[in-house]
Amino acid sequence: MQLQHLLGIEYLNPQQINTILDLADHYANKNRTDSRNSNVLLGCTQINMFFENSTRTQASFEIAGKRLGADVMNMSMEASSIKKGETLVDTALTLNAMHPDLLVVRHPHSGAVDLLAQKVNCAVINAGDGRHEHPTQALLDALTIRRSKGRLHRLNIAICGDIAHSRVARSNIILLGKMENRLRLIGPATLMPTDINEFGAEVYHDMQEGLKDVDVVMMLRLQSERMDGGFIPSEREYYHRYGLDAGKLSFAKPDAIVMHPGPMNRGIEIDGEIADDLNLSVIQEQVEMGVAVRMAAMEILMHNSRQNKKEMNE
Using CB under 6 A, list all residues that contact ligand NCD.
56-57, 128, 134, 137, 167-168, 221, 223, 261-262
Q: In the bound complex, what is the minimum distance in angstroms from residue 93's beta carbon to ligand NCD?
A: 26
**131 vs 248 by CB, closer to ligand NCD:** 131
Instruction: Choose among 9, 18, 10: nearest CA to 1.
Output: 18
Considering the complex, what minimum distance in angstroms separates the CB of residue 27 from ligand NCD?
19
Question: If we measure between CA atoms, which residue out of 88, 87, 138, 75 comes closest to residue 114?
Answer: 88
Q: How far apart are CA 81 and CA 201, in angstroms?
A: 43
Nearer to ligand NCD, 44 or 113 (CB): 113
Contact call for residues 133 and 170 (beta carbons, < 8 A): yes
Angle at 142 between CA 137 and CA 146, to 5 degrees: 150
The distance of closest approach from Cβ of residue 132 to ligand NCD in the complex, given in angstroms and rounded to an integer, is 10
Nearer to ligand NCD, 3 or 140 (CB): 140
At closest approach, how far in Å is the CB of 216 from ligand NCD?
A: 17
Q: Name the residue nearer to ligand NCD (CB basis): 56 or 266.
A: 56
Nearer to ligand NCD, 53 or 118 (CB): 53
Smallest separation (angstroms) from ligand NCD to the CB of 55: 8
Handedness of CA 268, 272, 273, 277 (dihedral sign): positive
Q: How far is the CB of 213 from ligand NCD (least distance, A)?
A: 26
d(CA 41, CA 83): 32
Task: Check: CB of residue 283 under 8 Å from CB of residue 275.
Answer: yes
DSSP label of 135: H
Give me the half-sphere count of Cα atoms (radius 13 Å) on the Cβ side of residue 32: 8
